[in-house]
Structure 1
Amino acid sequence: MRNRLASFPGAAAPVAAVALVLPLVLTGCLVEDGSAVSRGTLSGDIVGAGATFPDPLFQEWMSYYNTTIETGTTIDYRATGSGEGIEQFLAQSVDFGSSERYLQESELLVARQVRGCEAVQFPVVFGAVVIALNDPALDGLILDAEVIAGIYDRTVTRYDDPAIAALNPDLDLPDREIVPVHRSDGSGTTYVFTSYLTHEVQLWADEYAAGTDIDWNDGTVGGEGNDGVIQAVEASPGGLGYVNQSYALNNQLATARVVNEDGVPIEPTLAATTAASEEAEIPDDFQFTIDDIGGDGYPITGANWILAYECGYDDDTAEVLRDFWTWTLTDVEADRFASALGYAPMGRTLKERVLTEIQRVNSS
């Protein structure tokens, strides 16, 4: 019951500033050698699968791109969960994968073996994992990593538990059982959430650790996808669950404030997500986690990675793949979609690095 079971081993610039990052790709698109071609000339269908975390944003991006930017293309994204997205990517049943955790060395090796070339992975957006609550009266409830771990370990079972009361001395806490809800599918949201708890709480590191799929305590409830977690939270008096920030906003759920590294209870706002993402140290291989967040940063923050290959695509597919993800990082409209839905677009320097990485797609 308390042993981990992982499925796999192992900032935002203001909208006005984004326009200065790179020339907007509205009348031309970048091709592999960096030159521009006229808009409306691309054709091809691409399919991706993976994280539910960015799905609301991806659907907006893809619809706008298909109907306004390159009308001869079709991009289909299936929100299957990060674990399934990685599996389908490595099985080569999709053109690109999407995950809230980067591919680890064992998976990169599999990618080389099955494709005969290197995998390419790059972040495209940041977002927060928030603690959603069934009771609107508890909006702004303060929790810390130890209490959150205790709730999911079932050592903290009631809202008026002394550990929660100590964090909320001015709040009249209900004498009500907590019903903790988790993802039942392989999930990058779970990976971000459990990575945070593993980094912060020794009990969690020892008993559960981080993974896309966890052997949860029997006293918890499962829901498939972010939507399934929200449904279970809303259906359960005392419900509490972790979901992507945009899902909590769209469903107008009460959310908890979480104490960060500096001891400050932080509300999961877009600004707090941006503050956290700006503290991340991002290496050349784009394999990173966002830990030890202080200041104004919200501590449970993660990124979404796109997974592709250096070889094996036909020319049309490769060009659409490169152009679409380039467009998401260079068009101010794409950033507006992200901000409106509660995601943090990347800042200028990181965008420039990612744009270079995108050009590796089908370059071998």
Structure 2
Amino acid sequence: MIFFTSSLRRLVTTSAVAISVVFGTAMAASAQTVTLNGAGATFPEPLYQRYAAEFAKQNPNIKVNYQGIGSSGGIKQFTAGTVDFGGSDAAMTDAQIAAVSKGVILVPTAGGAVSVIFNVPGVEKLKLSRYTLPLIFTGQIKRWNDAKLVRDNPGVNLPDLPIRLAVRADGSGTTFIFTNHLSAIDPSFRKLVGPGQAPKWVASPLKGKGNAGVAGVVKQTAGAIGYVEYSYAKNGNLETALLQNKKGQYVTPELSNANKALATFKFPENFRVFEGDPTDGYPIVGLTWLLVSKDYDAAKAPAIKKFIQWALTSGQKINGSLEYTQIPEAVAKRVIQVVNSSVK
């Protein structure tokens, strides 16, 4: 009987220790894992998803989630504090920055071209001048065989087909990049529509949510023309127009031409850039930013710093493979210094 009691005590003690070790290990693992949730622009969504996957391989205790909901949504959620970081293709305005109670740092992560995509039966190559593109998106050119478009495209058989505009249904940084360019090159467009994430279009366009939504609308609609980030056009096998740049050259939105444009950008101390008409390369190119708070808890502050440093160093090597431009190294170093010194 004494032997049985002693054995039972040893069994209970051993089991208790084992449970304590397992429970303690699980709690420690849980405590060490930090999750950073972000939301915003769809323009860089493919890139940020790749960032998150690659970063996790090297930093298994930091999980990064990103949801593409549009730049306006990203700014709103970040300002409300419902996400740890936001994403926007439009640099925040002074008023938007002032509304963020914990402060904000705009972290440029990539650049990219906004492609003008079209679906015109029988037409595979289309040129659009600095004169005709704004006229199309203000509804002043209504048919594909308009004499102005014919002059842009000698030898191309443009059909007698109505032009159907396709734009974003949601507030969008891609829309800002696009309308910012058209406003920069055409005073009439600036007056009628103007630059913005959700402008009031003069015509009655078709609408799609996100870059993917606009790409889908154009692909399914004969006579449609719209705008999307270049990777959506390329991956969707959509026809893209050659646009006339400031030098008068007709250029494609491929990466090399986007890089030429980005090389002309000047980055101020706050890293906000509103360039609408670069002097070289593809004319509709913009940046995308992560919106980072200056105030996190003790676990998330070092995690966000680590992620930003990785994104602006190792992560930049991924950009080109997904058709995004890299941030100039000197600029990236400045951004990392600001984040490391300002995030608490």
TM-score over 0.5 (shorter chain): yes
Summarize the alignment of residues 32-111 of structure 1 with structure 2, pairs less than 5 Å apart. Answer: 43-66=33-56, 68-111=57-100
Report the secondary structure of 1:314's partner residue: coil
Consecutive unaligned residues in structure 2, runs of 5 or more: 1-30
Deviates more, 1:148-157 or 1:251-260: 148-157
Higher helix share: 2
Residue equivalent to 2:336: 355
RMSD value, Cα = 1.6
Q: 1:302 and 2:286 equivalent?
A: yes
Question: Cα deviations across residues 221-267 of structure 1 (Å, max 9, x unaligned)?
Answer: 11111111011001100111100011111111110011000111111
Aligned with 1:153 (options 138, 155, 160): 138
Task: Letter of the 2:97 partner, please give it.
Answer: L
Contact kept? 1:82, 1:100, Cα under 8 Å: yes
Summarize the alignment of residues 1-364 of structure 1 with structure 2, pairs less than 5 Å apart. Answer: 43-66=33-56, 68-111=57-100, 114-115=101-102, 118-135=103-120, 137-295=122-280, 297-311=281-295, 313-331=296-314, 334-363=315-344
- Structure 1 runs of 4+ aligned residues shifted over 4 Å read none
Report the secondary structure of 2:237's partner residue: coil
Question: Cα deviations across residues 320-358 of structure 1 (Å, max 9, x unaligned)?
Answer: 211112111211xx3343111110112222222222222
Contact kept? 1:249, 1:342, Cα under 8 Å: no
What TM-score do you get using the length of structure 1 for normalisation?
A: 0.83
Question: Cα deviations across residues 93-112 of structure 1 (Å, max 9, x unaligned)?
Answer: 1100110111111111111x
Contact kept? 2:121, 2:223, Cα under 8 Å: no
Question: Cα deviations across residues 34-55 of structure 1 (Å, max 9, x unaligned)?
Answer: xxxxxxx973001011000000
CA distance in 1: counterparts of 2:236 and 2:275, whole angstroms = 26
Report the secondary structure of 1:359's partner residue: helix
Shift of 1:284: 1.0
Contact kept? 2:144, 2:162, Cα under 8 Å: yes
Contact kept? 1:43, 1:316, Cα under 8 Å: no
Find the structure with the greater CA-based Rg.
2
Consecutive unaligned residues in structure 1, runs of 5 or more: 1-40
Task: Letter of the 1:338 partner, please give it.
Answer: N
CA distance in 2: counterparts of 1:231 and 1:288, whole angstroms = 30
Contact kept? 2:170, 2:210, Cα under 8 Å: yes
CA distance in 2: counterparts of 1:229 and 1:342, whole angstroms = 19
Shift of 1:90: 0.7
Aligned residues: 314
Q: Which has the higher contact order (CA 8 A, sep 6+)?
A: 1
Question: Cα deviations across residues 128-172 of structure 1 (Å, max 9, x unaligned)?
Answer: 111011247533311123322211211111111111111111322
Label 1:361 to 1:44 Cα distance change in 2 as closer, same or farther (>3 A). farther
Shift of 1:290: 2.4
Contact kept? 1:277, 1:290, Cα under 8 Å: no
Label 1:137 to 1:348 Cα distance change in 2 as closer, same or farther (>3 A). farther
Contact kept? 1:122, 1:357, Cα under 8 Å: no
Contact kept? 1:129, 1:193, Cα under 8 Å: yes
What TM-score do you get using the length of structure 2 for normalisation?
A: 0.87
Shift of 1:74: 1.3
Between the two proteins, what is the percent identity of the paired residues?
Answer: 30
Task: Letter of the 1:328 partner, please give it.
Answer: A
Deviates more, 1:337-346 or 1:237-246: 337-346
Report the secondary structure of 1:279's partner residue: coil
Report the secondary structure of 1:292's partner residue: coil
